[in-house]
Structure 1
Amino acid sequence: MEAYNPNPTVYKSAKTIRKSGAKEGSLWLVEDEENIEDSDEVEPLDQDEIFDLIRSITDPEHKHMTLEDLMVVSAPQIRVGSNLVDVEFTPTVPHCGMSTLIGLSIRVRLLRSLPQRFKVDIHVKPGSHQSEHAINKQLNDKERVAAALENPALLSAVEDCLASAGLRGERLE
């Protein structure tokens, strides 16, 4: 595999963000276990909770570093609406050949983890990649994403990016 950025800048990771009162293993605040079933209220998500979901995804080119370590993702690059999560990511170099795989890994992590009511938009930071438009089109087209995930080699690469933090298959409801 060709190295697109053989010597990336590595940044110090922030401490894990966890709201007080959060149930262990959950990103949602839990006030009282008994009242959960009685409540129809949907607890809103914020950018820190979404960042916690994606920060530990492994960079596909640098297997020992996370997207957070390389500043590919950060909390300020995430916007959360009532049913929308919009994630912007910054490739480490303008010609990064792994950008689509990074975006696909972020999308798969969020689709597997968030309630189904959320629409997820993933895009490259404007001006950070020479193929920005093509990558954004690929990452936000349902048919293209589905076709990519039907490719066993590509799916395996996504699973490898997600495996480092035990991020296979679970869904938070």
Structure 2
Amino acid sequence: MVSGLINANPVVYERKERRVRTAPFSADEYAVEPIDQQEIFDHIRDIKDPEHPYSLEELKVVTEDAIEVDDKHSHVRVTFTPTVEHCSMATVIGLCLRVKLMRSLPSRYKVDIRIAPGTHATEAAVNKQLNDKERVAAALENPNLLDMVDECLAPTYA
């Protein structure tokens, strides 16, 4: 048993089977195929939890149903659910989601990352941090934090 963790024994769920897409994802700014909910989920499902050897999908931190895509207006919203109400890693998880999508989506997309309402003690503060460009940029200038984010994202680039 790992000590010092907020949620030392999280519930682990079975992964969904991957669906075959008719057109592969393209970060091309002028891609003809619209980006959809499934495509966004496929990009974020394998992000590793910062505290556990499980993906965000396996912990049900992210689900396909909690993703909204408005391709016409180039807007994506991902709502995630921390495993516990006092999750100290909620901001890091949200930062991982944001960075993954910033690196994957065409630059025309606006991305909102949110905690599911009522699922975290400091939901408003975390949402504000995750959607403030200056705070995100400052966080990514911290080499230790950037290393942590890159480690969580590493399985998604394999």
TM-score (norm 2): 0.91
In 2, Cα distance between equivalents of 1:146 and 1:2: 29
* Contact 2:44-2:156 at 8 Å conserved across structures: no
* Structure 2 spans left out of the alignment, 5+ residues: none
User: Is 1:45–2:43 an aligned residue pair?
Assistant: no
In 1, Cα distance between equivalents of 2:42 and 2:31: 23
- Three-state SS of the structure 2 residue aligned to 1:161 is helix
Q: After superposition, give the CA deviation of every residue in 1:104-155 in whole Å (9 maximum; x if it has no partner).
A: 0000000000000100000000000000000000000000000000000000
Superposition deviation, residue 41 in structure 1: 6.6
The one-letter code sitting in structure 2 at the alignment partner of 1:100 is T
- Three-state SS of the structure 2 residue aligned to 1:88 is strand
* Contact 2:68-2:76 at 8 Å conserved across structures: yes
The aligned counterpart of 1:5 is 7
* Contact 2:129-2:136 at 8 Å conserved across structures: yes
The number of equivalent residue pairs is: 151
The aligned counterpart of 1:56 is 46
Match of 1:130 among 99, 118, 121: 121
Q: Which structure's CA Rg is the greater one?
A: 1
The alignment yields a C-alpha RMSD, in angstroms, of 1.5
Q: Which has the higher contact order (CA 8 A, sep 6+)?
A: 2
The percent identity for this pair of structures is: 55
Superposition deviation, residue 86 in structure 1: 0.2
In 1, Cα distance between equivalents of 2:102 and 2:20: 21
- Three-state SS of the structure 1 residue aligned to 2:156 is coil
Q: After superposition, give the CA deviation of every residue in 1:14-56 in whole Å (9 maximum; x if it has no partner).
A: 0113313x3xxx325xxxxxxxxxxx67321110000000000
* Contact 2:48-2:153 at 8 Å conserved across structures: yes
TM-score (norm 1): 0.83
